[in-house]
A and B are shown apart, each in its own frame.
Chain A
């Protein structure tokens, strides 16, 4: 799973069977410091994410498994919202195990 930020929304009326009612978001992937990383992409959303939210998402075939029905042609899905924005990479708690 990876981090991302919701930057937009896509409206599409005509879609394949099984995707009725699904929300499509434009998401900019982020690195561990919440800096943009790579090109933005479109994702399904199951986390009621909104504009500007930092989220985590899953890519590849597994992305469809977050949906019901899961036999749908989706390869990226937002599966959760990030509530604590601190990164362990920059945290004092990021110490090696003793």
Chain B
């Protein structure tokens, strides 16, 4: 039995590892060309995605992701990671853990427009 209030002062269970699997916003900043690779990667297009915070600022993290939607350089995209990344027709059964699954037109926070593909509103960090 735990003493009253002990849960509030000290977590009983260790804190869970940082959640790595989450749908993230990023900007396509490059393309990966690879000749020697696993055969099941095949001709999938690999993009370098610079991840962005909800305020449109780069987080400093990059991910190489399979492109399932035909995104281009400078596009802001959504990246699914983990085993969910294999759940497209293009990536089914293939050794990938990051997939570009949508191209972002815009997003808002608390009613304020943060990004629009027409013009960046808050973030001034995106490639021209």
Q: Assess whether B44 is interfacial by the CB under 8 Å rule.
A: no
**Which B8-48 residues have C-beta < 8 A from chain A?**
8, 18-19, 21-25
**Residues of A contacting B103 with CB < 8 Å?**
12-15
Contact yes or no, B78 A42, CB < 8 A: yes
Q: Assess whether A75 is interfacial by the CB under 8 Å rule.
A: yes
Contact yes or no, B109 A60, CB < 8 A: no
Mask: chain B, 62-81; 1 = CB below 8 Å from A; 0 = not: 00000011110000001011
Contact yes or no, B109 A73, CB < 8 A: no
Q: In the bound complex, what is the Cα–Cα distance between A43 and B84 (angstroms)?
A: 13
Contact yes or no, B105 A61, CB < 8 A: no
Q: For chain B, which range describes its interface: under 10, 10 to 19, 20 to 34, or 35 or more residues?
A: 35 or more
Q: In the bound complex, what is the Cα–Cα distance between A29 and B23 (angstroms)?
A: 13
Q: In the bound complex, what is the Cα–Cα distance between A60 and B71 (angstroms)?
A: 24
CB distance from B17 to the nearest CB of A (A): 11
Q: In the bound complex, what is the Cα–Cα distance between A60 and B22 (angstroms)?
A: 7
Known: A60-B82, A60-B84, A76-B23. A8 touches B109 (CB 8 A): yes
Q: Assess whether A7 is interfacial by the CB under 8 Å rule.
A: yes
Contact yes or no, B102 A14, CB < 8 A: yes
Q: In the bound complex, what is the Cα–Cα distance between A7 and B111 (angstroms)?
A: 8
Q: Assess whether B119 is interfacial by the CB under 8 Å rule.
A: no
CB distance from A68 to the nearest CB of B (A): 13
Contact yes or no, B80 A75, CB < 8 A: yes
Contact yes or no, A42 B70, CB < 8 A: no
CB distance from A32 to the nearest CB of B (A): 9
Give B contacts to A, CB under 8 Å.
1-2, 4, 7-8, 18-19, 21-25, 53-54, 59, 68-71, 78, 80-89, 91-92, 99, 101-111, 114
